[in-house]
Amino acid sequence: MIPFTAFGLLGLLALSIPVGIVLFLLAFGIDFFFSPFPLMRGLGQVVWSSSNSATLIAIPLFVLLGEILVRSGVASRTYTALDKWVSWLPGGLIHANIATSTMFSATSGSSVATAATVATVAMPQARALGYNEKLFSGAIAAGGTLGIIIPPSINLIVYGFLTESSIPQLFLAGLLPGLLMALLFMIFTVILCVLWPSLGGPRRPSAWRERFVGLLDLIPIFGLFAAIVGSIYAGWATPTEAAAIGVGIALAIAVQQRAFSLDMLSQALRGAVRTSAMIMLVVIGAYVLNFVLTAAGVSRALQDLLNGLGLGPLATLLVIVLMYIVLGFFIETLSLMVATIPIVVPIIVHLGYDKIWFGILMIILVEMALITPPVGLNLYVVQSARGRAPFSDVMLGCIPYAFAMLLMVGLLILAPQLALFLPSSL
């Protein structure tokens, strides 16, 4: 049963079948070959119960929020403002890529949207100022991954829904690791550019007056983040209601920036519908697969297999970490999450680990899938923004940041309180 599940998943994905359909087909196959009961007779009820949740309304709302911000010009003004604060460091404008990705992640909820936005704004600057495009592009691709760990995060909402975990707690748990990982990206950049100055570019110190004037352009982002996250933790709004508040504020920002038009709104709505439909198909397919795996005993069989290996909790956890690293080369981020959560999370809970903590660890591991070929989506997003030069440049530029992610994984395993401190203190 376990080999059928593993090879069936990889085989169907290798055929380029859409991920949501793959999850349904795998569930049908497990039911047909291994279940003594006709589980598919309950398909309608499972699909309805998985989609009939107010929590999931937050997904299209956060997607729409990101679409509006992308089209309102907020990102370019944020980039210019942060450039004045961080470009004096070794590596220059590369740090603005990471800082802007961090700021945009606090409102977007999507890694691909974050990477696409920053790449569109930043790449012309790299060429005009003569930067080494390898590290410059790698920093954009890696910085974009912060979109799924710094709250609000669509992937954390999906994880919370599938594991019945508290989404506000997951948001809090992702904040410190996300900021720490952004800091690690900048530290790695400084080290590389000190050792090999040609990797960076001109350092451009700005006058203090310019820096403080530039902060005015950051007020909309800070205000939006404070409204979304603050309303959740003040107890004034659920994550879904906070997402709706965020959409309203984003529209107000677009009006204030004179970027609002019916055409802009139409494009944002169409983009949000396309993305949300894809996400919901995958989520519902994952819920159906979760139901079948549990009913057919696959999760229990995998637990028995791991217990039979005689590995301790830490060794088992390291095996799971290695599994995510390997699968990340071949499976897209959200797909990797929803296909493995039904199998892996029960094992993690059985080993005595915290679900909230593991959610953050899993997010960092699947973030690596965004910048590792051949399926790393952020690599293709940044390359499309470049429009020239070899694709291998982006891949090589991401290598230092992949090591930074591995370091963050190690820190989370050694110090779980990095993720659990905020949720436990509030």
Name the most confidently modeled range: 246-260, 277-291, 334-348.
Answer: 246-260
Checking if the pLDDT of 184 tops 90, the result is yes
3-state secondary structure of 352: coil
The predicted-structure confidence for 129-149, as pLDDT tens digits, reads as follows 777 778 888 888 888 888 888
The predicted-structure confidence for 388-397, as pLDDT tens digits, reads as follows 667 778 888 8
Q: What is the DSSP string of 87-142?
A: TTSTTTHHHHHHHHHHHHHHHH--HHHHHHHHHHHHHHHHHHHT--HHHHHHHHHH
| Cβ atoms within 10 Å, residue 215 | 13
How far does the chain reach from its first CA to its final CA, in angstroms? 43
Checking if the pLDDT of 308 tops 80, the result is no
pLDDT at 21: 80
- Of the candidates 331, 269, 273, 288, the one whose C-alpha atom is nearest the C-alpha of residue 18 is 331
Residue 336 identity: L
Secondary structure (H, E, C), 263-306: HHHHHHHHHHHHHHHHHHHHHHHHHHHHHHHHHHCHHHHHHHHH
Write out the two tokens for 263. 């055409």
Rounded to whole angstroms, the Cα distance separating 149 from 171 reads: 8
Contact 146, 184 (CB under 8 A): no
